[in-house]
Every structure is written in C-alpha cells, then in structure tokens.
Amino acid sequence: MTSVVTESRHRVTTRQYWFRLLRLFVVALIAALIILPTTLGVLGAWGLTHPGCFPGATAAEHGFERYEDVSFPSSRGITQQGYFFPGDNGATIIVNPAYSSGRGAEPHYANLFQEAGFNVLTYNSRTCTSRGLHSLGYQEVEDVIAAYEYLSARPDVDTERISLHGFSSAGATSLMAAARMPQIRSVTAEGGYHNFAAMLGVENPRTYFDRLFTFGATTTYRLVTGDDISVLNPLEAIRQLGSRPVLLIYGSEEVSLPGARLMLERARQNGVNAELWVVEGAGHGNYLFVATDEFVRRVVAFHSAALLDSREPG
C-alpha cells in the first residue's frame, strides 16, 4: 500500500514538474517574441543615433594650400569646428557632413568645388561635437542655419550666392534645410533617404515582429532626440523648394533609389526644378569614383548655373 501511494505521489510530482517546466517555456517564448524584436528596435535606433566620429585627416594632411581653420556657434550649446576653403568666383558651397564625418572626412568634395572656383565650407558632424549624437538629419538642419549665419558675417562671402551639397544623411539634411532657408540657391543631394519612417516600415508594418521592432525603434528615437521620427522626411521638404534647382544623385545599385524616384515625382508635382542622375554601376557613396569626369562636369555646371548664371563650369 505504501509503495502504491509513493508511486502515485511520484507521478503527481513528475506531472507538476513537467507542467511547471512547460509553463516556464511558454512564458519565456512569449517574452522572447515580445522582448526580442522590441529590443532589436531599441538597439538599432540607439546605434544609429550614436555612430561615433570619423574626423578624417586635417586639411594640411590632405594637401590643401588655401584654407582657414574656423569655428562658429550652433544650437544646443554646440561650437562647430570647420574649414573654409576660399575660391575665386565669389559663390559658396556648404558641404554638410555625412553622418559621422568630421570636417576633414570628405576632402574630395572640398577639392572639387574649390578647384571649380567656389568658396567651400565644411564642418563637423554632431557626433564629432560635445553633443555626441546624431538625429539622422533633422536637428542637423540647425547646423546648416548656423553655417549660413557664420558665412553671412564674412566680407568675402556673397550671401545671395550660397548652395548646399550633402551625401547620405547629409543629403537629407540639405533638402530639409533648403525647405527652411529660402536664401539657399541650389542643392545637390546624394544617396539620402526619402522618408525614414516609411523606410523603417512604421506606417505599414507587415508582421507582428515588424510592429514590435518599429515600436522599439521609434520610442528610442523620441527618447534620445526629443523628436518624433516622422520629422525625417525629405519627401515632404522637397516640394517646398519652389523654383530653386535640385540635383538628386543616386547609384543604380543602391537600395534608396526608389525613394529618389518618389522625391523626383513629388518635386515635379509641385513645380520644383528637380532632376535625378542615376550613376550606372554605382552603389552608395561611390558616384564620384565610378563616373569621375561626368560627376565633376554635371555637379559644377549645376551649381554654376544657379550661382553664376552660367552653365559653364567655373
């Protein structure tokens, strides 16, 4: 009798053990299905807004002979460090820094525009300042405004002849800045996103995983930057540029090309003077190196037409 009771208790204990184990497994699975995609969204947004700084070499190390080491105040307590490269034709190109780039990280643009006769201003990405974080293009518009104000105080700069150039997130920044700055004469924007929230899938998440991922990403972006992720919208900005010329430059192999086509369509619907150059065989960021001669010819002629009233390169 005792053995029967003991065996019965053993069976109950075993069933309870496996039941508890199964319950723990189900709870862990549910938690993983909820926590994992949300955490991935959190980590993704945190990583994107804290990319670190790639300062690049100094202007002297790049071999520039004509340049000035400059600084100017920006918003949120930032003091921007930059280089001013004097030109000969009186017009100026602000080269906005791409993502984590410092003032010396994109010398090819400074060289191209200075050789064409333009003044050029470069400056640091916000990740290379005391702020230490990047809003992916929106708050960086404040640096463009500060750069323009700095140039306005220089006697050797004609404030009616200033244009913008930017690659990737700086391309998005350039378009959003021009929408807020009617003083800007023209914009060349390379490889930027058209609507970050749409690219992230915020509006139409396809799966439950996507919904949780975007929730984690958008919540983290708001907590880190103080802005809603919907502000990252060059597609909306481009329609506000009126008759000012815009040149979108994208590679035939990069994933953001469909977004560029949407921006071109939106621009044309609103009477904006925009064009899209698709560099065959190029990926994200190597347009100048894939089509060097044509890039120089097109970009210089484009800004010359806006700033010098001529289609001829400077």
Buried b (16+ CB within 10 A) or exposed e, 212-224: bbbbbbbebbeeb
**List of the chain residues with pLDDT < 70:** 1-34, 310-314
Residue 249 counted as domain residue = yes
Residues 6+ apart with CB under 8 A from 79: 71, 72, 73, 129, 130
Length of the chain: 314
Pairwise CA distance, residues 121 & 72, whole Å:
12
Residue 72 counted as domain residue = yes
* pLDDT, tens only, 194-253: 999 999 888 777 787 888 889 999 999 999 999 999 999 999 999 999 999 999 999 999
Dihedrals φ, ψ of 187, to 5°?
A: -140, 130
Residue 64 counted as domain residue = yes
Dihedrals φ, ψ of 204, to 5°?
A: -135, 70
Dihedrals φ, ψ of 210, to 5°?
A: -60, -40
Bridge partners of 166?
A: 96, 189
Residue 14 counted as domain residue = no
> What domain range includes position 282?
50-195+232-307
Residue 121: predicted pLDDT = 98
Contact 232, 136 (CB under 8 A): yes
Residue 212 counted as domain residue = no
Residue 36 counted as domain residue = no
Residue 164 counted as domain residue = yes
Which SS3 state, helix, strand or coil, does residue 56 take? strand
Residue 27: predicted pLDDT = 56
Residue 113: predicted pLDDT = 98
CATH (domain of 291): 3.40.50.1820
Q: How many CA atoms lie within 13 A of 22 on its CB side?
A: 6
Number of independent structural domains in the chain: 1
- Which tokens belong to 270? 């609103």
Residue 220: predicted pLDDT = 95
Pairwise CA distance, residues 113 & 61, whole Å:
18
Residue of 242, 111, 129 whose CA lies nearest to 165: 111
The residue to which tokens 């500060």 are assigned: 146
Residue 4: predicted pLDDT = 47
Residue 213: predicted pLDDT = 87
Bridge partners of 245?
A: none
Residue 88 counted as domain residue = yes
Residues 6+ apart with CB under 8 A from 202: 214, 218, 229, 230
Residue 205: predicted pLDDT = 75
